[in-house]
């Protein structure tokens, strides 16, 4: 029996040293020390031993048991440690490795300049409003003093959805929406897309952007319009910018004007960019027509107002010295990265 026990100790020692996983260890423990294990089987033979042998073998059996238990414990620690080392190795992060360079985008020139324009008007106490791009004929034309048979409709080459609904051809539609919903004093700008059935060329696109301005209050005059636009242009283009008002006609303003700014290249002498004019046309403007005010329920014996409509593309082209509007829509990064 002594032999058997020592044999078992030897075998166990080898088996445990070569165990690879915690499950291996557990299997070995059960097969050696479990209720139906090898040790129990050996000890069943104790009955046949003499009274002197019995305590000796008993003691040896206990030694073998605690040897095996210690060995399992020791092996368990070793396995856990090496598992952890393995895990740490696989999760190592080499902070000296070259990284991927993030590509940082930037805003489109139209957005950049629109933000500048908004900031200037916000500085003068204006709020920013928006209106729908798919608009009722009523807001785009009718309420602006342009009835169905008015020749001004022809010049706008409108996209019709049906008889009553159009893609708005001007942001002036927002003037009416604001005046219907807000009592004076009103001081707003309304930037947004407008649509006209124009062929694409260097200065035309079927989709472009306008910025509408509207001020309605007591005692508003053409002087307020001129002063406001003057401050706006000088802030945007510098103190040397000179404005020129030319008489014009819009059905929804009276009097009306087209407003030009002195050429930023030649300063007014005349050059290739301004086609020898010395000035560049930037917007339409005027005093809001009394009929438009009254249709919106505004008392014209108390209130008056001015309105203007700027072409954003033009402003951007003048501001950033771009000679072809198509560049603004091509999304060519070689172009866009210059700004």
**Residues interacting with ligand PHE, by CB under 6 A?**
170, 172, 250, 253, 284-286, 307-309
Least Cβ distance, residue 256 to ligand PHE (angstroms): 6
User: What's the rounded Cα separation, in Å, for the pair 232 and 261?
Assistant: 11
Tokens at residue 110, please?
């139209």
Least Cβ distance, residue 99 to ligand PHE (angstroms): 50
Least Cβ distance, residue 279 to ligand PHE (angstroms): 17
Contacts of 218 (CB under 8 A, 6+ apart): 184, 185, 302, 303, 304
Q: Which is nearer to ligand PHE, 75 or 170 (CB)?
A: 170
Strands 127-128 and 253-262, how do they pair?
Answer: unpaired
What angle do helix axes 2-17 and 22-33 make, rounded to 10 degrees? 170
User: What's the rounded Cα separation, in Å, for the pair 38 and 33?
Assistant: 7
Q: Which is nearer to ligand PHE, 167 or 285 (CB)?
A: 285
Q: Which is nearer to ligand PHE, 130 or 240 (CB)?
A: 130
Q: Which is nearer to ligand PHE, 9 or 244 (CB)?
A: 244
Least Cβ distance, residue 156 to ligand PHE (angstroms): 8
Least Cβ distance, residue 308 to ligand PHE (angstroms): 5
Residue 110 has, within 13 A of its CA and on its CB side, a CA count of 19
Least Cβ distance, residue 105 to ligand PHE (angstroms): 32
Least Cβ distance, residue 322 to ligand PHE (angstroms): 21
Least Cβ distance, residue 226 to ligand PHE (angstroms): 14
Least Cβ distance, residue 196 to ligand PHE (angstroms): 9
Number of H helices, E strands in the chain: 12, 10
Instruction: DSSP for 153-203, please give it.
Output: GGGG-PEESSSSEEE-S-THHHHHHHHHH-PSSEEEEEEEEEE-----BTT
Q: Which is nearer to ligand PHE, 68 or 283 (CB)?
A: 283
User: What's the rounded Cα separation, in Å, for the pair 291 and 69?
Assistant: 103
User: What's the rounded Cα separation, in Å, for the pair 88 and 4?
Assistant: 43
Q: Which is nearer to ligand PHE, 75 or 256 (CB)?
A: 256
Find tokens 């294990």 and name the residue: 37
Q: In what order do the strands lie in the sheet with 159-160?
A: 134-136, 165-167, 159-160
User: What's the rounded Cα separation, in Å, for the pair 171 and 192?
Assistant: 7
Q: Which is nearer to ligand PHE, 249 or 269 (CB)?
A: 249
Q: Which is nearer to ligand PHE, 232 or 308 (CB)?
A: 308
Q: Which is nearer to ligand PHE, 75 or 253 (CB)?
A: 253
SS3 3: helix
Q: Which residue is nearest to ligand PHE (CB)?
A: 309
Q: Residue 324, preceding bond cis, omega within 30 degrees?
A: no
């Amino acid at each position: 029996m002594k032999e058997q026990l020592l044999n078992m100790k030897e075998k166990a020692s080898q088996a445990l040293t070569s165990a690879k996983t915690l499950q291996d260890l557990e299997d070995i423990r059960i097969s050696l020390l479990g209720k139906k294990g090898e040790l129990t089987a050996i000890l069943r033979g104790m009955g046949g031993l003499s009274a002197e042998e019995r305590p000796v073998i008993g003691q040896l059996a206990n030694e073998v048991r605690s040897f095996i238990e210690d060995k399992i414990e020791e092996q368990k620690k070793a396995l856990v440690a090496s598992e952890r080392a393995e895990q740490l190795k696989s999760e190592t992060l080499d902070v000296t490795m070259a990284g991927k360079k993030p590509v940082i985008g930037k805003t489109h020139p139209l957005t950049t300049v629109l933000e500048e324009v908004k900031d200037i008007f916000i500085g003068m106490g204006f709020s920013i409003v928006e209106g729908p791009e798919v608009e009722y004929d009523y807001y785009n034309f009718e309420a602006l003093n342009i009835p169905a048979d008015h020749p001004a409709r022809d010049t706008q080459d409108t996209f019709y959805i049906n008889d009553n609904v159009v893609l708005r051809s001007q942001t002036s539609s927002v003037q009416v929406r604001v005046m219907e919903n807000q009592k004076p004093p009103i001081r707003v700008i309304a930037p947004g897309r407008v649509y006209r059935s124009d062929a694409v060329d260097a200065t035309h696109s079927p989709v472009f952007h306008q910025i509408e301005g509207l001020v309605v209050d007591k005692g508003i005059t053409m002087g307020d319009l001129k002063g406001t636009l003057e401050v706006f242009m000088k802030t945007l283009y510098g103190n040397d910018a000179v404005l020129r008002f030319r008489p014009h006609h819009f059905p929804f303003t009276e009097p009306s004007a087209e407003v030009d700014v002195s050429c930023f290249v030649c300063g007014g002498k005349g050059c290739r960019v301004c086609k020898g004019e010395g000035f560049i046309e930037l917007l339409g403007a005027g005093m809001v027509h009394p009929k438009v005010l009254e249709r919106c329920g505004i008392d014209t014996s108390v209130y008056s107002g001015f309105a203007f409509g700027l072409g954003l593309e033009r402003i951007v082209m003048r501001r950033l010295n771009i000679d072809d509007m198509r560049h603004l829509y091509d999304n060519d990064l070689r172009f866009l990265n210059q700004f």
